[in-house]
A and B are shown apart, each in its own frame.
Chain A
Amino acid sequence: MSMRDRVQAMFTAPVAEAHCDGPCGVYDPASARVTAEAVLSMTKKMLDLHVPEGSDDAAWASYLNTMSRFAAIKEEQAESTKHEILVLWTDYFKPDHLEAYPDLHATIWNATKLCSKTKQNVDVAAAEELMAAVETIHKMFWESKNRDVAWVPAVG
Protein backbone atom coordinates (compact mmCIF):
# COMPACT_ATOMS: atom_id res chain seq x y z
CA MET A 1 0.00 0.00 0.00
CA SER A 2 1.32 3.40 -0.91
CA MET A 3 1.50 6.38 1.44
CA ARG A 4 -1.41 7.86 -0.49
CA ASP A 5 -3.55 4.80 0.31
CA ARG A 6 -2.54 4.95 3.95
CA VAL A 7 -3.52 8.60 4.21
CA GLN A 8 -6.79 7.84 2.43
CA ALA A 9 -7.59 5.12 4.95
CA MET A 10 -6.80 7.41 7.87
CA PHE A 11 -9.75 9.74 7.48
CA THR A 12 -12.86 9.00 9.43
CA ALA A 13 -16.08 9.56 7.55
CA PRO A 14 -19.67 8.44 7.91
CA VAL A 15 -20.60 5.38 5.88
CA ALA A 16 -22.40 5.66 2.55
CA GLU A 17 -24.00 2.30 1.97
CA ALA A 18 -23.56 0.90 -1.50
CA HIS A 19 -25.66 -2.07 -0.56
CA CYS A 20 -28.66 -2.96 -2.52
CA ASP A 21 -31.66 -2.23 -0.38
CA GLY A 22 -33.40 -5.14 -1.93
CA PRO A 23 -31.93 -8.60 -1.86
CA CYS A 24 -28.81 -8.19 -3.96
CA GLY A 25 -27.63 -11.73 -3.32
CA VAL A 26 -24.16 -10.68 -2.29
CA TYR A 27 -23.42 -12.64 0.87
CA ASP A 28 -20.17 -14.07 2.04
CA PRO A 29 -19.36 -15.71 5.38
CA ALA A 30 -15.82 -14.35 4.93
CA SER A 31 -16.81 -11.20 6.83
CA ALA A 32 -17.80 -13.30 9.86
CA ARG A 33 -14.55 -15.24 9.52
CA VAL A 34 -12.42 -12.09 9.56
CA THR A 35 -14.14 -10.62 12.61
CA ALA A 36 -14.09 -13.96 14.47
CA GLU A 37 -10.38 -14.17 13.78
CA ALA A 38 -9.98 -10.72 15.28
CA VAL A 39 -11.81 -11.91 18.41
CA LEU A 40 -9.43 -14.86 18.75
CA SER A 41 -6.41 -12.67 18.16
CA MET A 42 -7.51 -10.04 20.71
CA THR A 43 -8.27 -12.73 23.29
CA LYS A 44 -4.74 -14.09 22.89
CA LYS A 45 -3.21 -10.64 23.04
CA MET A 46 -5.05 -9.88 26.28
CA LEU A 47 -3.73 -13.04 27.87
CA ASP A 48 -0.20 -12.34 26.63
CA LEU A 49 -0.08 -8.83 28.02
CA HIS A 50 1.96 -8.68 31.23
CA VAL A 51 1.05 -6.59 34.22
CA PRO A 52 3.81 -4.05 34.82
CA GLU A 53 6.13 -4.66 37.75
CA GLY A 54 6.22 -2.07 40.48
CA SER A 55 4.07 1.04 40.57
CA ASP A 56 5.38 3.19 37.75
CA ASP A 57 2.43 5.38 36.77
CA ALA A 58 3.36 5.62 33.10
CA ALA A 59 3.83 1.87 32.80
CA TRP A 60 0.44 1.27 34.39
CA ALA A 61 -1.25 3.87 32.24
CA SER A 62 0.22 2.26 29.15
CA TYR A 63 -0.78 -1.21 30.34
CA LEU A 64 -4.35 -0.18 31.10
CA ASN A 65 -4.61 1.69 27.82
CA THR A 66 -3.44 -1.30 25.80
CA MET A 67 -5.60 -3.72 27.74
CA SER A 68 -8.69 -1.52 27.32
CA ARG A 69 -8.07 -1.20 23.61
CA PHE A 70 -7.77 -4.96 23.23
CA ALA A 71 -10.98 -5.45 25.20
CA ALA A 72 -12.82 -2.80 23.20
CA ILE A 73 -11.75 -4.30 19.89
CA LYS A 74 -12.67 -7.79 21.04
CA GLU A 75 -16.10 -6.52 22.07
CA GLU A 76 -16.68 -4.74 18.80
CA GLN A 77 -15.45 -7.56 16.58
CA ALA A 78 -17.53 -10.13 18.46
CA GLU A 79 -20.59 -7.95 17.95
CA SER A 80 -19.81 -7.65 14.24
CA THR A 81 -19.41 -11.41 14.00
CA LYS A 82 -22.82 -11.84 15.57
CA HIS A 83 -24.32 -9.36 13.13
CA GLU A 84 -22.72 -10.98 10.09
CA ILE A 85 -23.93 -14.43 11.12
CA LEU A 86 -27.44 -13.14 11.77
CA VAL A 87 -27.56 -11.47 8.36
CA LEU A 88 -26.73 -14.77 6.68
CA TRP A 89 -29.37 -16.45 8.77
CA THR A 90 -32.18 -13.96 8.22
CA ASP A 91 -31.39 -12.83 4.68
CA TYR A 92 -29.50 -15.58 2.89
CA PHE A 93 -30.73 -18.90 4.22
CA LYS A 94 -34.17 -19.92 2.97
CA PRO A 95 -36.63 -22.56 4.18
CA ASP A 96 -35.40 -25.09 1.63
CA HIS A 97 -31.90 -24.79 3.08
CA LEU A 98 -33.38 -25.92 6.36
CA GLU A 99 -34.38 -29.20 4.74
CA ALA A 100 -30.79 -29.77 3.64
CA TYR A 101 -29.37 -28.56 6.95
CA PRO A 102 -31.83 -29.41 9.71
CA ASP A 103 -29.37 -28.17 12.33
CA LEU A 104 -29.08 -24.74 10.70
CA HIS A 105 -30.97 -22.91 13.45
CA ALA A 106 -29.04 -24.66 16.21
CA THR A 107 -25.75 -23.91 14.47
CA ILE A 108 -26.55 -20.21 14.15
CA TRP A 109 -27.83 -20.04 17.71
CA ASN A 110 -24.71 -21.73 19.03
CA ALA A 111 -22.43 -19.50 16.94
CA THR A 112 -24.09 -16.25 18.02
CA LYS A 113 -24.07 -17.40 21.66
CA LEU A 114 -20.33 -17.96 21.31
CA CYS A 115 -20.05 -14.34 20.15
CA SER A 116 -21.53 -13.30 23.49
CA LYS A 117 -19.35 -15.70 25.41
CA THR A 118 -16.18 -14.35 23.81
CA LYS A 119 -17.28 -10.85 24.80
CA GLN A 120 -18.02 -11.73 28.41
CA ASN A 121 -14.84 -13.72 28.95
CA VAL A 122 -11.21 -13.80 27.94
CA ASP A 123 -11.48 -17.36 26.75
CA VAL A 124 -9.26 -18.73 23.98
CA ALA A 125 -11.23 -21.98 23.89
CA ALA A 126 -14.48 -20.08 23.31
CA ALA A 127 -12.87 -17.97 20.59
CA GLU A 128 -11.61 -21.13 18.91
CA GLU A 129 -15.07 -22.67 19.20
CA LEU A 130 -16.43 -19.54 17.55
CA MET A 131 -13.98 -19.97 14.67
CA ALA A 132 -15.09 -23.59 14.32
CA ALA A 133 -18.75 -22.51 14.33
CA VAL A 134 -18.09 -19.92 11.62
CA GLU A 135 -16.29 -22.60 9.63
CA THR A 136 -19.37 -24.83 9.88
CA ILE A 137 -21.51 -21.96 8.59
CA HIS A 138 -18.97 -21.31 5.83
CA LYS A 139 -19.26 -24.93 4.72
CA MET A 140 -23.06 -24.93 4.79
CA PHE A 141 -23.17 -21.64 2.93
CA TRP A 142 -20.90 -22.61 0.05
CA GLU A 143 -22.30 -26.11 -0.18
CA SER A 144 -25.78 -24.61 -0.53
CA LYS A 145 -24.46 -22.64 -3.51
CA ASN A 146 -22.83 -25.78 -4.95
CA ARG A 147 -19.45 -24.19 -4.71
CA ASP A 148 -16.28 -25.49 -3.25
CA VAL A 149 -14.67 -22.59 -1.43
CA ALA A 150 -11.73 -23.36 0.81
CA TRP A 151 -11.70 -22.19 4.43
CA VAL A 152 -8.59 -20.03 4.60
CA PRO A 153 -8.05 -18.03 7.80
CA ALA A 154 -6.00 -14.85 7.40
CA VAL A 155 -3.87 -15.79 10.39
CA GLY A 156 -2.19 -19.12 9.83
Chain B
Amino acid sequence: MSAEWPERSEAMIAKKIATKEIVLWALRKRRPWRVQGVSMEPEYRAGDLVLIDPNAPVVAGSVVVARHPFKNLDVIKYVKTVDNDDHVVLESPQGDDSSHFGRVPLHTVRGTVTYNWKAHRPT
Protein backbone atom coordinates (compact mmCIF):
# COMPACT_ATOMS: atom_id res chain seq x y z
CA MET B 1 0.00 0.00 0.00
CA SER B 2 2.82 2.09 -0.53
CA ALA B 3 4.64 4.72 -2.39
CA GLU B 4 6.13 2.17 -4.68
CA TRP B 5 3.01 1.04 -6.44
CA PRO B 6 2.67 3.91 -8.90
CA GLU B 7 6.16 3.08 -10.14
CA ARG B 8 5.28 -0.53 -10.65
CA SER B 9 2.11 0.44 -12.40
CA GLU B 10 4.07 2.60 -14.82
CA ALA B 11 6.28 -0.34 -15.66
CA MET B 12 3.20 -2.47 -16.14
CA ILE B 13 1.67 0.07 -18.49
CA ALA B 14 4.91 0.16 -20.48
CA LYS B 15 4.89 -3.62 -20.70
CA LYS B 16 1.29 -3.65 -21.83
CA ILE B 17 2.00 -1.09 -24.55
CA ALA B 18 5.00 -3.12 -25.70
CA THR B 19 2.92 -6.29 -25.88
CA LYS B 20 0.12 -4.55 -27.73
CA GLU B 21 2.52 -2.99 -30.22
CA ILE B 22 4.30 -6.26 -30.88
CA VAL B 23 0.97 -8.02 -31.43
CA LEU B 24 -0.04 -5.26 -33.86
CA TRP B 25 3.29 -5.71 -35.61
CA ALA B 26 2.61 -9.44 -35.92
CA LEU B 27 -0.77 -8.53 -37.42
CA ARG B 28 1.04 -6.25 -39.89
CA LYS B 29 -0.53 -3.12 -38.51
CA ARG B 30 2.96 -1.86 -37.68
CA ARG B 31 6.15 -1.77 -39.71
CA PRO B 32 9.65 -1.82 -38.23
CA TRP B 33 12.50 0.57 -38.98
CA ARG B 34 16.00 0.55 -37.55
CA VAL B 35 17.40 3.86 -36.33
CA GLN B 36 20.82 4.88 -37.57
CA GLY B 37 22.65 8.03 -36.53
CA VAL B 38 22.56 10.44 -33.63
CA SER B 39 20.26 13.25 -34.61
CA MET B 40 17.32 11.98 -32.55
CA GLU B 41 19.24 11.44 -29.33
CA PRO B 42 18.64 10.99 -26.48
CA GLU B 43 15.23 9.42 -27.03
CA TYR B 44 16.10 7.48 -30.19
CA ARG B 45 19.54 6.03 -30.60
CA ALA B 46 21.37 4.07 -33.25
CA GLY B 47 20.19 0.47 -33.19
CA ASP B 48 16.76 1.20 -31.79
CA LEU B 49 13.94 -0.64 -33.53
CA VAL B 50 10.94 1.63 -34.04
CA LEU B 51 7.48 0.46 -35.04
CA ILE B 52 5.39 2.79 -37.15
CA ASP B 53 1.69 2.94 -37.79
CA PRO B 54 1.18 3.84 -41.46
CA ASN B 55 -2.42 4.79 -40.80
CA ALA B 56 -2.03 7.05 -37.78
CA PRO B 57 -2.78 10.73 -38.30
CA VAL B 58 0.31 12.93 -38.49
CA VAL B 59 0.28 15.48 -35.70
CA ALA B 60 2.76 18.07 -34.47
CA GLY B 61 5.07 16.70 -31.81
CA SER B 62 4.90 13.11 -32.98
CA VAL B 63 7.80 11.19 -34.42
CA VAL B 64 7.57 9.97 -37.99
CA VAL B 65 9.54 8.03 -40.57
CA ALA B 66 9.46 9.87 -43.89
CA ARG B 67 11.01 9.62 -47.34
CA HIS B 68 13.75 12.14 -47.85
CA PRO B 69 12.51 14.62 -50.48
CA PHE B 70 15.46 14.16 -52.81
CA LYS B 71 17.66 11.38 -51.50
CA ASN B 72 16.91 7.70 -51.69
CA LEU B 73 16.57 7.20 -47.96
CA ASP B 74 14.16 7.32 -45.07
CA VAL B 75 14.57 9.73 -42.19
CA ILE B 76 13.22 9.71 -38.65
CA LYS B 77 12.18 13.12 -37.34
CA TYR B 78 9.86 15.02 -35.08
CA VAL B 79 6.91 16.75 -36.70
CA LYS B 80 7.28 20.47 -36.01
CA THR B 81 4.13 21.66 -37.75
CA VAL B 82 1.44 20.26 -39.97
CA ASP B 83 0.23 22.90 -42.41
CA ASN B 84 -3.27 22.97 -43.75
CA ASP B 85 -2.12 22.48 -47.33
CA ASP B 86 -0.97 18.93 -46.53
CA HIS B 87 2.66 19.74 -45.93
CA VAL B 88 4.73 19.07 -42.83
CA VAL B 89 7.87 20.61 -41.33
CA LEU B 90 10.16 18.05 -39.72
CA GLU B 91 12.97 18.57 -37.25
CA SER B 92 15.60 16.68 -35.23
CA PRO B 93 16.78 17.63 -31.75
CA GLN B 94 20.46 17.26 -32.67
CA GLY B 95 20.44 18.41 -36.22
CA ASP B 96 18.99 20.77 -38.69
CA ASP B 97 15.30 20.88 -39.24
CA SER B 98 13.82 20.44 -42.65
CA SER B 99 13.99 24.18 -43.34
CA HIS B 100 16.90 23.50 -45.66
CA PHE B 101 14.92 21.06 -47.75
CA GLY B 102 11.69 22.89 -47.24
CA ARG B 103 8.37 21.66 -46.13
CA VAL B 104 7.65 18.17 -47.34
CA PRO B 105 4.36 16.87 -48.71
CA LEU B 106 2.38 14.87 -46.20
CA HIS B 107 2.46 11.79 -48.44
CA THR B 108 6.21 11.44 -47.95
CA VAL B 109 5.49 10.49 -44.34
CA ARG B 110 5.49 6.72 -44.14
CA GLY B 111 3.92 6.59 -40.71
CA THR B 112 3.98 7.65 -37.10
CA VAL B 113 6.26 5.95 -34.61
CA THR B 114 4.12 4.17 -32.03
CA TYR B 115 6.79 2.25 -30.19
CA ASN B 116 10.54 2.34 -29.68
CA TRP B 117 12.09 -0.98 -28.86
CA LYS B 118 15.32 0.47 -27.57
CA ALA B 119 18.63 -1.16 -28.27
CA HIS B 120 20.94 -2.08 -25.42
CA ARG B 121 22.20 1.08 -23.71
CA PRO B 122 25.71 0.55 -22.40
CA THR B 123 25.83 1.80 -18.81
Contact = CB atoms under 8 A, between A and B. Distances in A.
Interface of A: 1-2, 5, 8-9, 11, 13-22, 24, 26
Given A2-B120, A5-B119, A24-B96, A18 B49 contact: no
Contacts of B38: 18-19, 24, 26
Contacts of A22: 95-96, 100
B15 to A, nearest CB: 12
- Chain A: interface secondary structure? loop
A26 B96 CA distance: 12
B109 to A, nearest CB: 12
A118 to B, nearest CB: 24
A24 B98 CA distance: 13
Contacts of A13: 31-34, 49
A19 B37 contact: yes
A14 B96 contact: no
Given A18-B38, A18-B76, 19 more contacts: A8-B117, A8-B120, A9-B119, A13-B32, A15-B36, A17-B76, A18-B46, A18-B75, A19-B36, A19-B38, A20-B37, A20-B39, A21-B71, A21-B75, A21-B95, A21-B98, A24-B38, A26-B37, A26-B94
